[in-house]
Amino acid sequence: MNYKIRSIRADEWAAAKELRLVALKDPVAHLAFLETYDTALAQPDSFYQERAVGAAEGAEKAQQIIAEGPDGEWVGTVTVLLEEAGTVDWAGFAVERKQGHLVGVFVRPEVRGIGLTEVLFDAALEWAWGRGVERVRLIVHEDNERARRFYGKVGFVPTGVVVPLGGNADERELEMVVERP
């Protein structure tokens, strides 16, 4: 595999924006992301600049990790957010212990199936464990079978926590976790 796995640098916001927009055009984006392509496209550059600074190499509370192809093209990404015990998460749930939260998982379709997602997850977990988290979690739409199968394959297990989606009581997301080894 001739791909470089690394954290983004703060000045790479434009590449991060471009990959996010590609991800939001994926056929299952409506199940995988809490943002639409149009909403993301309408964000000013300052939004992506701030996001990159907050998740770049050396950042303390988040890390965006990418897979970079031999030609320099970014072909995959995952972001790890740190959640501190005693806080409340984005969905309004109490965070009971220090944990990592994986978000924004995406690999371009043309390179899926070659192990990049596994390598991205390994790097994300390594970063999180290095910050003293007790577990790493993610939230996945109950209808996103491809993602749920992959997450199970790499060791994430359902916790039973169900996160309702916005105004639609018929749609739910499920929490999956991996405990610190």
48-81 residue pLDDT tens: 999 999 999 999 999 999 999 999 999 999 999 9
pTM of the model: 0.94
Q: Which residue has the higher pLDDT, 150 or 168?
A: 150
Are the beta carbons of 29 and 37 closer than 8 angstroms? Answer: yes
- Tell me the backbone φ, ψ of residue 65, rounded to 5 degrees: -110, 135
Task: Report how far residue 96's alpha carbon sits from residue 144's, in angstroms, rounded to the nearest whole number.
Answer: 27
Q: Is 67 helix (H, G, I), strand (E, B) or coil?
A: strand
Q: Is 87 helix (H, G, I), strand (E, B) or coil?
A: coil
Long-range contacts of 19-26 (CB under 8 A, 24+ apart): 19/66, 19/74, 19/77, 19/106, 20/48, 20/104, 22/106, 22/108, 23/77, 23/104, 23/106, 26/106, 26/109
Q: What pLDDT shows up at residue 169?
A: 66
Q: Is 167 helix (H, G, I), strand (E, B) or coil?
A: coil
Does the pLDDT of residue 167 top 70, yes or no? no
Per-residue pLDDT band at 1 (split at 50, 70, 90): low
Percent of the chain past pLDDT 70, that is, above it, reads: 97
Q: What pLDDT shows up at residue 170?
A: 75
Instruction: Note the pLDDT tens digit of each residue in 23-50.
Output: 999 999 988 998 999 999 999 999 999 9
Q: What pLDDT shows up at residue 168?
A: 65
Instruction: Note the pLDDT tens digit of each residue in 121-154.
Output: 999 999 999 999 999 999 999 999 989 999 999 9
For residue 154, list its beta bridge partners. Answer: none
